[in-house]
């Protein structure tokens, strides 16, 4: 008998889904090897410039050695975050309410671990940010999806519809506004409704507000922070620096809560991973010096792109695109049976003037198997000229696909 | 009735231990506020300089925006890692066998998740790296400790003693050599013995080799990589850039395995967290340009410190310190009943010329409750002059404590 043949990996490893944003990357790389230009609308990795004041941290670097940061977060970055939230009008946020995380991803994972036992349920609204699925598996949590629909602009269904999904195992509601992947911005009454539900059923309420600044048509985002004192032990804010300052490769986010047990617990986990990146925190700490005009101009730029994408795509026969209200994503219905096959084909077969476009099949943004099969998620993270070319590519591709 | 009063965090959050390395930090901060100089021997955060070629990456930075890296790792860093392992003589390591991680911490966590179901057991040798405890809780895994003892220089007990602890639930053996916290370097026959055990009982074998380069007295470390082909599906190497290049604040490590299912699964989890730090990877990718003389001089420096610490401490009445063979730690027995109380007292009460020293109580480096109560872990990460002063401080403190 040869040993080691029947060694098996854990079952739970097999349950981790491949990212719909990233799983077609090998096909994109193959296309690039052939000299094809691939436009990336599959991933929310903006081409907008990182603020100069942050770039200068690198150029003027002198700390040597590059040491561990503090587990809760570097004091200079924690202070900057506090200043940022105070600037938004939430002056009750103090440093002990903030845990710096390695990207928004770690904040999501910590929040699920801290609020749920294995097997517990968390209500989510689908289509959802795909990596919630990953962190549900990693933390042994069951996501219970409440569906939102294109015809409602992906806004929330009635309170009663949501309430139907609450069971004895439900521990939390997790939502994202402005929404990735739909671009929907929940209204004040929608957020208030979720707060009321959390209060009534004694649930944690986890708000992913990574795209806070990206709301268009002169509107403003409604933050969970506005209602934090109504459910001080239950509200948890998940945040990230990635999109706000075009810092995706700087892996920094934050978990904010007034619940001291949550904060003490996540700090113990954070001690286990020692610290977030020291250089990254030094860069991000400059956020207080980023002029308001930067965020305003970035907002305007994305609004323009949103308009271009929306106007362009809705003209293509069979394409359904509700007008995104915020963030920089849209869930787009396509006149195809299998959007994943279409996305793969774009990378393997379709070329127009030796160019193609990469989209993310939307099925992976649902927790319910079978949904979203004819949809894609589009991240409008390229400039107007490139985006216009992408729309043209999509239109041409749909004409000749199958 | 007021709502939200009976909201409870998860039980598992309560099980996450506070880091013995970090939990006394508030006392250290308080002492510093009083103007006291605190020497940090509590944490393996070296004062050795990061190589210039790495620092120059920051000074010459031009990429803007700072984008996501690839989930498996940036190609330039993956290539550098491959070159590094080839340079050690392990030319079978190819890029698909490498997953870049956010510090060695993430590699540990991924390995436990990938090999164990919740409730499964992993054999570890105590005293152990304290954060194994954290990641065991986070992944719902039970650590089953096999004790190593000061009188054996913390080397492994006989094969039979280890074998006794293997049950039907045992999925893996996790070991660290050169060892944190004991400084012990396992001999070739010890590592071979673990490989044989893994083979015989069909277990995964997880080797934490973060301190590979730090072996003294002219000896060499024995890597699991040497035996990788004997148990190709079972061997997993956990690595980190933190100590090798004084890059603790650059959160980068690696998980290496020839098991394709493991690699595919950890990549899916890595996609969920998008990427490791982009700037950090650009820095670490320069590892191929770090001259061999750097690692040699760092090794010599630590050997000198090891000698100073060992010679100095063993002269103090009641202190027990086996001579560390590698890494930059020692588990030191003290003539006190409660080392944690002593460590806290050093920070709150003891001052000599307005200076004190911070040590890590060793109880948290055991998985068995009650062990290590009179021991501390000392990280000899300060230069000889400071280390000499620390020894003096410890000697003086022990004289007047209680």
Percent of chain A with pLDDT over 70: 99
Q: Using CA coordinates, name the residue in chain A closest to B246.
A: A65
Contact B339, B349 (CB under 8 A): no
Q: Using CA coordinates, name the residue in chain B closest to A132.
A: B272
Report the gap between the CA of A214 and the closest CA in chain B (Å): 18
Is B327 in the same domain as B192?
no
Is the pLDDT assigned to residue B7 strictly greater than 90?
Answer: no
Is B58 in the same domain as B41?
no
Distance CA A186, CA A125 (A): 12
Distance CA B148, CA B129 (A): 13
Distance CA B376, CA B399 (A): 17
Question: DSSP character for A60?
Answer: T
* Tens-digit pLDDT profile for residues B10-54: 999 999 998 888 889 899 999 999 999 999 999 988 889 999 999
In a domain, B322, yes or no: yes
Report the gap between the CA of B92 and the closest CA in chain A (Å): 19
Residue ending a domain, choose from B272, B289, B306: B289
Reported as a pLDDT band with limits 50, 70 and 90, residue B230 is very high
Q: What are phi and psi of B33, to 5 degrees?
A: -60, -30
Is B114 within 8 Å of chain A by CB?
yes
Region B123-133 average pLDDT:
96
Q: What's the confidence (pLDDT) of residue A19?
A: 86
Residues of A in contact with B59 (CB under 8 A): 58-59, 61
In a domain, A348, yes or no: yes
In a domain, A6, yes or no: no
In a domain, B6, yes or no: no
Q: Any idea which of A274-283, B39-48, B302-311 has the lowest mean pLDDT?
A: B39-48
| Residues 6+ away with beta carbon under 8 Å from A7 | B202, B204, B233, B234, B259
Q: Using CA coordinates, name the residue in chain A closest to B9.
A: A115
Is the pLDDT assigned to residue A122 strictly greater than 90?
Answer: yes
Is A27 in the same domain as A155?
no
Is B282 in the same domain as B301?
no
Reported ipTM: the value is 0.95
Is A15 within 8 Å of chain B by CB?
no
In a domain, A5, yes or no: no
Report the gap between the CA of B354 and the closest CA in chain A (Å): 24
Is A370 within 8 Å of chain B by CB?
no
Is A170 in the same domain as A72?
yes
In a domain, B357, yes or no: yes
Reported as a pLDDT band with limits 50, 70 and 90, residue B1 is very low
Is A349 in the same domain as A310?
yes
**Residues, chain A:** 402
CATH number of domain containing A201: 3.40.640.10
Which sign does the torsion angle of CA A29, A306, A327, A378 carry?
negative
Is A38 in the same domain as A105?
no
Contact B243, B232 (CB under 8 A): no
- The token duo for B46 is 């070296």
Report the gap between the CA of B316 and the closest CA in chain A (Å): 31
Is B260 in the same domain as B377?
no
Q: What's the confidence (pLDDT) of residue B402?
A: 78
Is B232 in the same domain as B373?
no
Q: What's the confidence (pLDDT) of residue A2?
A: 42
Query: Which of B273, B294, B382 best tests the A interface by mutation, with the highest count of A CBs <10 A?
Result: B273
pTM: 0.95
Residues of B in contact with A120 (CB under 8 A): 10
In a domain, B118, yes or no: yes
Residues of B in contact with A131 (CB under 8 A): 271-274
CA distance readout (Å), B110 to A19, B113, B188, B345: 17, 5, 27, 37
Is A140 in the same domain as A253?
yes
Q: What's the confidence (pLDDT) of residue B3?
A: 46
Q: What are phi and psi of B398, to 5 degrees?
A: -65, -30
Is the pLDDT assigned to residue A3 strictly greater than 50?
Answer: no
State the total domains in chain B: 2
In a domain, A2, yes or no: no
Residue ending a domain, choose from A255, A289, A323: A289
Reported as a pLDDT band with limits 50, 70 and 90, residue A402 is confident
Residue ending a domain, choose from A254, A289, A324: A289
CATH number of domain containing B317: 3.90.1150.10
Report the gap between the CA of B359 and the closest CA in chain A (Å): 16
Q: Using CA coordinates, name the residue in chain B closest to A9.
A: B115
Is the pLDDT assigned to residue B2 strictly greater than 80?
Answer: no
Region A75-100 average pLDDT:
98
Reported as a pLDDT band with limits 50, 70 and 90, residue A120 is very high
Mean of pLDDT over chain A? 96
Partner residue facing A45 (CB), from B46, B67, B140: B67
Report the gap between the CA of B396 and the closest CA in chain A (Å): 29
Is the pLDDT assigned to residue B5 strictly greater than 80?
Answer: no
Is A119 within 8 Å of chain B by CB?
no
Partner residue facing A131 (CB), from B55, B61, B272: B272
Percent of chain B with pLDDT over 70: 99
Contact A9 B262 (CB under 8 A): yes
Is B236 within 8 Å of chain A by CB?
no
Reported as a pLDDT band with limits 50, 70 and 90, residue A390 is very high
Contact A272 B13 (CB under 8 A): no
Reported as a pLDDT band with limits 50, 70 and 90, residue A81 is very high
- The token duo for B126 is 């105590």
Q: What's the confidence (pLDDT) of residue A87?
A: 97
* Tens-digit pLDDT profile for residues A193-221: 999 999 999 999 999 999 999 999 999 99
Question: DSSP character for B397?
Answer: H
What is the span of the domain harbouring residue B40? 11-49+293-400
Contact A96, A263 (CB under 8 A): yes
Partner residue facing A105 (CB), from B116, B246, B274: B274
Report the gap between the CA of B278 and the closest CA in chain A (Å): 5
Contact B67 A249 (CB under 8 A): yes
Residues of A in contact with B202 (CB under 8 A): 3-4, 6-7
Partner residue facing A248 (CB), from B22, B67, B259: B67
Is B202 in the same domain as B226?
yes
* Tens-digit pLDDT profile for residues B333-342: 999 999 999 9
Is B168 within 8 Å of chain A by CB?
no
Contact B115 A9 (CB under 8 A): yes
Is the pLDDT assigned to residue A153 strictly greater than 60?
Answer: yes
Is A22 in the same domain as A143?
no
């Amino acid at each position: 008998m040869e040993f080691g043949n029947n060694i098996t990996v854990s079952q739970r490893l097999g349950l981790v889904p491949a990212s719909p944003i990233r799983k077609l990357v090998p096909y994109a790389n193959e296309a690039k090897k052939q000299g094809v230009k691939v436009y990336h609308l599959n991933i929310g990795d903006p081409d907008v410039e990182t603020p100069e004041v942050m770039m200068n941290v690198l150029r003027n670097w002198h700390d040597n050695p590059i040491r561990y940061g503090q587990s809760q977060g570097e004091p200079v970055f924690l202070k900057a975050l506090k200043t940022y939230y105070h600037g938004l009008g939430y002056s009750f946020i103090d440093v002990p309410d903030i845990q710096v995380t390695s990207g928004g991803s770690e904040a999501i994972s910590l929040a699920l671990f801290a609020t749920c036992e294995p097997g517990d349920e968390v209500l989510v609204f689908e289509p959802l940010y795909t990596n919630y699925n990953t962190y549900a598996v990693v933390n042994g949590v069951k996501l219970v999806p409440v569906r939102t629909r294109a015809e409602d602009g992906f806004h929330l269904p009635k309170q009663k519809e949501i309430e139907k999904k609450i069971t004895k195992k439900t521990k939390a509601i997790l939502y994202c506004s402005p929404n990735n992947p739909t671009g929907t911005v929940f209204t004040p009454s929608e957020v208030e409704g979720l707060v009321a539900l959390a209060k009534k059923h004694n649930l944690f309420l986890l708000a992913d507000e990574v795209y806070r600044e990206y709301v268009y048509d002169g509107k403003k985002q409604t933050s969970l922070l506005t209602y934090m004192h109504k459910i001080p032990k239950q509200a948890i804010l998940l945040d990230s620096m990635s999109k706000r300052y075009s810092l995706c490769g700087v892996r920094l986010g934050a978990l904010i809560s007034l619940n001291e047990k949550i904060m003490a617990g996540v700090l113990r986990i954070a001690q286990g991973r020692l610290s977030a990146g020291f250089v990254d925190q030094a860069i991000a700490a400059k956020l207080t010096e980023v002029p308001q005009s930067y965020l305003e101009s970035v907002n305007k730029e994305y609004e323009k792109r949103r308009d271009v994408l929306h106007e362009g795509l809705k003209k293509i026969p069979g394409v359904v695109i509700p007008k995104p209200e915020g963030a920089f994503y849209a869930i787009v219905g396509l006149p195809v049976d299998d959007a994943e096959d279409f996305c793969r084909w774009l990378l393997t077969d379709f070329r127009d003037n030796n160019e193609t476009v990469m989209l993310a099949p939307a099925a992976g943004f649902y927790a319910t198997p079978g949904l979203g099969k004819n949809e894609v998620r589009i991240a409008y993270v390229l400039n107007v000229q490139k985006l216009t070319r992408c729309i043209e590519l999509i239109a041409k591709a749909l004409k000749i696909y199958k």
